[in-house]
Amino acid sequence: MNHSTLFQAIQVGALHLPNRIILAPMTRSRAEAHHVPGALMAEYYAQRASGGLLITEATMAIEGNSAFIAEPGIYSDEQIAGWRLVTDAVHAAGGRIVLQLWHGGRACHPALNDGAIPVAPSAIPITGDEIYTPDGKKPYVTPRALPIDEIADVIVGFRKAAENAKTAGFDGVELHAANGYLLDQFLRDGSNHRTDAYGGSLENRARLLWEIIEAVTPIWGADRIGVRLSPLNPYNSMSDSDPVGLVSHLAAGLDERKIAYLHIMRGPAEKPDLLQPIRENFHGVVIANKKYTPAESESQILAGTIDAVAFGVPYLANPDYPERIAAGAALNEPDYGTFYSTGPKGYTDYPCMDQVSC
């Protein structure tokens, strides 16, 4: 199949993308001590710079909210300098890159945060799963509900992280409001049982996201801000009683705020369609994600359902994924055992089509 539509340029807010193939944000746990990005991460992202846009892995906006081992942060001078290595390498390779700003919320663990109890909208733990810590796998703990004054601190933390991202040379930021982390925990009623101004109604549950966007917009401009949503993803014990109503409300609010793009992770096939209510309420660029093939991507872009696609695992295992799509070339098989390990194996050593490391 000819995938020419995937290679059409597109304007995404202030960003001009040469194609519609996006690197999805994927935790890789390769940061150095103190959550500092290093030369290895710079190499990884630069290898993949031929995509229209690179979205980084989830990056701690605020210190003390680690939910993985060796994920990066953006709250220290050392981290800013480390990310500058990454952005300089990507830009030198002709790419564009945005930083995904993230707070783990109840997905964090005391063993990763000097004993600190994680925070969440409500004191409801993640169940049925365990988290990897330096002391082995452990069950998640019950978080403490954020009081109003600490919610204000979260907003300040995201604003500072956005400032740091600009200093680090990024082209924009993506707010991670998906996959059962803090902003998503506020959005969905399965995890948010608050009865104050941040709980109950759709407007109240979205309030934190709106306030963070308001705080970040003067720094970046709305046209360099994206938001990732996943109202159907059950990961991290997440649920919502009305995901279509939720995404419709959020899409309308994001449209009103004129953000650059809405990044949506679709749910299982048997779940309700989210793209129609998004298109009805949001008139900006829609980036879709989760197990799209190039053929399906082409079809949906042509149909006007979406505008671009964020590819995860195949782009991870194929640094030259756009070139392989264009050539109809075979793909490297991903090495799942190295996704969250250390060092270059399964990270920067995947070969390009010429069978040498990119």
User: DSSP string of 46-93?
Assistant: HHTTTSSEEEPPPEESSTT---SSS--BSSSHHHHHHHHHHHHHHHHT
CB atoms near residue 88 (< 10 Å): 14
**To the nearest whole number, what is the mean pLDDT of the chain?**
97
pLDDT at 269: 82
Residue 353 pLDDT more than 70? yes
- Dihedral in degrees, nearest 10, Cα atoms 285, 152, 164, 247: -10
CB 41 within 8 A of CB 86: yes
Query: How do beta strands 173-177 and 225-229 pair?
Result: parallel
pLDDT at 268: 85
pLDDT at 175: 99
Residue 107: closest CA among 49, 180, 192, 4: 180
Residues 6+ apart with CB under 8 A from 291: none
Residues 6+ apart with CB under 8 A from 70: 29, 30, 31, 32, 35, 342
Q: Which two tokens stand for residue 36?
A: 């500092």
- The structure's pTM equals 0.97
Write the pLDDT tens digit of every residue in 127-144.
999 999 999 999 999 999
pLDDT at 21: 98
Domains of the chain and CATH, by start: 4-338 (3.20.20.70)
Residue 126 pLDDT more than 80? yes
Q: How confident is the model at residue 2 (pLDDT cuts 50, 70, 90)?
A: low
Residues with a catalytic annotation lie at 181
Residue 1 pLDDT more than 70? no
Q: How confident is the model at residue 35 (pLDDT cuts 50, 70, 90)?
A: very high
Write the pLDDT tens digit of every residue in 141-164.
999 999 999 999 999 999 999 999
Mean predicted confidence (pLDDT) in 177-191:
98
Write the pLDDT tens digit of every residue in 246-303.
999 999 999 999 999 999 999 888 789 999 999 999 999 999 999 999 999 999 999 9
By percentage, how much of the chain surpasses pLDDT 90?
Answer: 96
Residues 6+ apart with CB under 8 A from 143: 105, 106, 117, 118, 119, 120, 123, 124, 125
Residue 51 pLDDT more than 70? yes
Q: How confident is the model at residue 235 (pLDDT cuts 50, 70, 90)?
A: very high
Residue 343 pLDDT more than 80? yes
pLDDT at 119: 98
Write the pLDDT tens digit of every residue in 297-338.
999 999 999 999 999 999 999 999 999 999 999 999 999 999
